[in-house]
Amino acid sequence: NVLPPLRSFLADDQFSKAQLLALIDLAINIKKHPADYSQALAGKSVAMIFEKPSLRTHVSFDMGINKLGGHALYLGQQNGKLGERERVSDYAKNLSCFADVIVARVFSHKSIQVLAEHASIPVINALCDVYHPCQALADFVTLSENFPDLSQVKLAYVGDGNNVSNSLMLMAAILAVDFTLVCPEGHEPQADIIEKTKQLAQESGSKFILTNDIDAIGKQDVIYTDTWISMGDEDANKKADILAKFAPYQVNHALMAKAQANMLLHCQPAHLEEEITTELFDSELSKVFQQAENRMWAQNAVLVTLLAN
């Protein structure tokens, strides 16, 4: 499927295999030869809107942009909530007057769509309720570094069907990576994302399995997990029920052994002893800090590509 050059980086179902492979290659090249890209964003400014907390995304964008010779400006919520003091569309139009790229972490995907629709500059989704494409791209960079042939990798995600798993399963399907999602009943990804993933997996010839049965995990190379309660979904009254319901889905050494998996991924922050044991998170199997570092290289590849287009 041939797609036009990337204008923005918004949602994982909008990328072609060729675009993703090119971004992964570029990320690895920037990581190996950072000096070659030290002026790639010279004179360029990136406005970064954050509606939610962030460690890795905020720091990796800021320092990554610095490594490319550009300038990053953090816009938190000190001026009030996005869309309250002025319309999101006007926010996009104003930022387009000064900046060259908008990076946005928002509660609702709708805000990303409105920003992209009204900005005259590229917009990068730095996490919303539905997608986390920067994370998924970094994850496939990490897998490319650890496996000689991405298409032979068997990847399973165990836990809550959320923004991280949505991006991961869509990208896996595009890249022809076999993907299994195991989650408790009622915590599956939304229906349209499941349908899109099935369609993309069929096109690429990869497998996509969705199950509630943790005992059916099968042989995997990599197991990935994320928090059981995402930002914006916190509800003190429901926490005890969630912890009890998800307990059988905890990713630990026993599950890794059962799946014969030898790599653990987690986007972080980890809720130790909830979705993941401390022992496994800190173990040799864990590649979580390589994954974290690759956020910066993956995002730099996206920035360089968007500005070149």
Q: Indicate which residues carry an active-site annotation.
A: 105, 132, 135, 226, 267, 295
For residue 272, how many C-alpha atoms fall within 13 Å in the half-sphere facing its CB? 6
Q: How far apart are CA 75 and CA 20, in angstroms?
A: 28
In whole angstroms, how large is the CA radius of gyration of the chain?
A: 19
Query: Does residue 143 interact with ligand NVA by CB under 6 A?
Result: no
Least separation in angstroms between CB 171 and ligand NVA? 16
Query: Does residue 227 interact with ligand NVA by CB under 6 A?
Result: yes
Write each residue from 240 to 279 as x if it is in contact with ligand NVA (CB under 6 A), else as -, in one continuous string: ---------------------------x------------
Query: Does residue 28 interact with ligand NVA by CB under 6 A?
Result: no
**Residue 92: partners with Cβ closer than 8 Å, 6 or more residues away:** 102, 114, 115, 116, 117, 118, 119, 123
Query: Does residue 231 interact with ligand NVA by CB under 6 A?
Result: yes
Least separation in angstroms between CB 94 and ligand NVA? 27
User: For ligand NVA, which residue of 125, 162, 206, 305 counts as binding (CB under 6 A)?
Assistant: 162
Q: How far apart are CA 151 and CA 159, in angstroms?
A: 23
Residue 282 sits at the vertex; the CA angle it makes with 280 and 283, to the nearest 5 degrees, is 60
The residues that bridge with 156 in the sheet, in sequence order, are: 180, 223
Least separation in angstroms between CB 58 and ligand NVA? 11
Q: Residues binding ligand NVA: what is the number (CB under 6 A)? A: 8
In this chain, which stretch among 36-44, 222-230, 243-251, 297-305 interacts with ligand NVA, using CB under 6 A? 222-230
- Would you tell me which residues interact with ligand NVA (CB under 6 A)? 162-164, 226-227, 230-231, 267
